[in-house]
Amino acid sequence: MISYLQRMPLRARLALLAAVAVAVAVAVAAAAAWLVTRQQLSNQLDTGLKSVQASPSFVQELLRTCGLTRPSDRTAVGTPTSYTVQVVTVDGTVCAAPGSTPIKVDESDRAVAGGQLESILHDARDEEGREMRVATSRTELPGSFDDGYAVSIAQPLSMVSKPLGTLALVLCGVAGVGVAGAMTAGLAIARAGLRPVERLTKTVEHIARTEDLGVRIPVAGSDEIARLSSSFNAMTEALATSRDRQQQLIEDAGHELRTPLTSLRTNIQLLIRSEKSGRQLPAGFREELLGSVEAQISELTNLIGDLQELSRPDSAPAGGSLRVVALHEIAQRALDRVQLRGPNLTFNFELEPWYTQADPAALERSLVNVLDNAVKFSPPEGEISVRLGSGKLIVRDHGPGIPPEELPHVFDRFWRSPTARSLPGSGLGLAIVANTIRQAAGSVELRSHPEGGCEVVVRLPGTDTPPPTVLPGEQPSVDRD
């Protein structure tokens, strides 16, 4: 049954569920109405039977007629014609009024006749098999009549069952009409309510078929469908942006790879041609050629590593989950590495303790990239200053600086200043820096210094006190506000 419902269209399922819900509600209401009506009719029948009393004179005449007493003067009496009336003796003898069908006597009637009970209400059957509601009560007869009599007054239970049957038919008819109307209304409502979903489905199918991520769904209102449409539009826009960035990355990577590959192929062809022809290259030229090949291979290796770094999602740090690191220690290690590349430069640094959450390997590589840029653009015998305090790391060089119009592009992938194209590098260093700092919930800024040169400002949230000691397997945390 469940699998069948799952195969049904959503519109049909909604209509069916609406019909079932209405059917249950109508059934409960109809059953409650029928039960209340039955109780009311039964109570009315019992109340009517209790309120009817046969007069002593009528009972006396009935007993004389049945020969249950000695004869005496007869008195003309009336009879309750809408009821079945009979007299019951203590031994179970029945004397029914003329025109009434005797009703079978049970022990409760005899108990009333014998004075053990004052009165009793019960169901019984007459000799024709009809179900009757019987009220039996004791009647005191004056004069010479003996005790041991009870009078039973009854009416057919069909006085209750027939109206209840008619009511049941009416309620079933109303319920059927209600269910049919609910199914029709549910189908109409489902069709109207699912129209936006149908539009969304067609749009998704169109995108899946054509891969056209520029399609947008019109958004009207602020209900769940509108929110779904807005979310879908945001998703397609993000996918389109991601695809464009991927395409741009591939194009830029291809452009950057082409130059070292072309140079590498040319140098290797020269070496191969020299070997095939048997003409040895001059020793100095050969050494220079091999050094160029080694440098180009190193440049390709670095470029591929940078591409792998940038290809990771922004939400997935390169080294795994973020953890608490000592920024001042990472900055010191980066300085130790970079100082070997600029032996003629002066490094002035002041590093205050600061603890933050980041990927240590990626953060150290980013700081190395920042310091490498400072070394690259510093003049001979120049000075580089590094200051860390209150979570703000400032690296300043005394190089030529960057024109204001180029500052907005310094963190773009593969972007290189026209004045720096002759220098080694892939144009990905600062892009990696921005990506790593963003993953650590920080910010990075490159600006020109008023006194010349550039400075890079890295801000990372954290604290200046070491985190508390934690148990193995636990993850310490720092303030990221």
Say what the pLDDT of residue 144 is: 45
Whether 178 contacts 26, CB under 8 Å? yes
Q: How far apart are CA 424 and CA 413, in angstroms?
A: 15
Question: pTM of this prediction?
Answer: 0.45
Strand 383-389 relative to strand 443-448: parallel, antiparallel, unpaired? unpaired
pLDDT digits 0-9 by tens, 336-355? 888 877 778 888 888 999 99
Say what the pLDDT of residue 355 is: 92
Whether 12 contacts 186, CB under 8 Å? no
On the question of pLDDT at 97 being above 60, the answer is: yes
On the question of pLDDT at 70 being above 50, the answer is: no
What Å distances lie between residue 77 and 1, 51, 155, 181, CA to CA?
A: 70, 19, 21, 59
Model confidence at 432, pLDDT cuts 50, 70, 90, reads confident
Query: Count of CB atoms within 10 A of residue 41's CB?
Result: 18
pLDDT digits 0-9 by tens, 208-223? 888 787 778 777 777 7
Q: How far apart are CA 166 and CA 11, in angstroms?
A: 37
For the domain 224-311, what is the CATH code? Answer: 1.10.287
Q: What is the DSSP letter of 282?
A: P
Written out in words, the top-level CATH class of the domain with range 74-156 is alpha beta
Structure tokens at 34: 């029928």
Model confidence at 253, pLDDT cuts 50, 70, 90, reads low
Alpha-carbon radius of gyration of the chain: 51
Say what the pLDDT of residue 316 is: 47
pLDDT digits 0-9 by tens, 148-160? 788 888 889 888 8
- Exposure class string for 191-209: b at 16+ Cβ within 10 A, else e: eeebebeeebeebeeebee
308: exposed, middle or buried (Cβ count in 10 Å: 0-12, 13-18, 19+): exposed
Question: How would CATH label the architecture of 323-459?
Answer: 2-Layer Sandwich (3.30)
Largest interatomic CA distance in the chain: 165
Beta bridge partners of 457: 394, 445
Listed range (81-85, 150-154, 204-208, 467-471) with the worst mean pLDDT:
467-471
Domain ranges for the chain, please list them.
74-156, 224-311, 323-459
What is the average pLDDT value for the chain, to the nearest integer?
A: 77
Q: How far apart are CA 220 and CA 227, in angstroms?
A: 9
Say what the pLDDT of residue 146 is: 52
Model confidence at 233, pLDDT cuts 50, 70, 90, reads confident
pLDDT digits 0-9 by tens, 25-64? 888 888 899 999 989 988 888 888 888 777 777 777 777 7
Model confidence at 256, pLDDT cuts 50, 70, 90, reads low
Q: How far apart are CA 288 and CA 373, in angstroms?
A: 26
